[in-house]
Amino acid sequence: MRAMPAALVLALAMPPAMAQAPAASGWEAQAAAWAPALTACLAGQGRAMVVEAWAEGAALTARLLLPEGGRQDCLVRGGAVLARAPAGPKRPGEGLRAFMMERRCVDAWRVVDATGREVGWLAYPGCG
């Protein structure tokens, strides 16, 4: 019997929940840093998820996909929601990734802050 390469052994030993999101180039690359703002926008919105986010000076806008299928823009600054409004026009790349508070599918990636604390999950919108 041949020995398995160490990298394969580690990959097989790591449970899916411990997997980290692959390197990202879109808004999701900031998900850990933006987690307090994203969490504030998701509060009280049921099983909504963030499908796009962008910074506007000191504020952040999170585009939410609501449980009933509607879309909402949430403006937040300093962890406080300033405004909620119907979503504007679809942005390029919107909906390729989704940030959510709980793991809803097996291939979701855990988002952790600088201390290693879980702050949410990244997946695709169909996950939830």
> 24 falls in which pLDDT band (50, 70, 90)?
low
Q: Token digits for 42?
A: 């998701």
Q: Report the 10 Å Cβ neighbour count for 120.
A: 24
* Whole-angstrom distance, CA of residue 56 vs CA of residue 68: 27
Q: pLDDT of 71-109, one tens digit each? A: 999 999 999 999 999 999 999 989 899 999 999 999 999
Q: Which of 25-29, 46-50, 76-80, 114-118 has the lowest mean pLDDT?
A: 25-29
* Whole-angstrom distance, CA of residue 48 vs CA of residue 60: 17
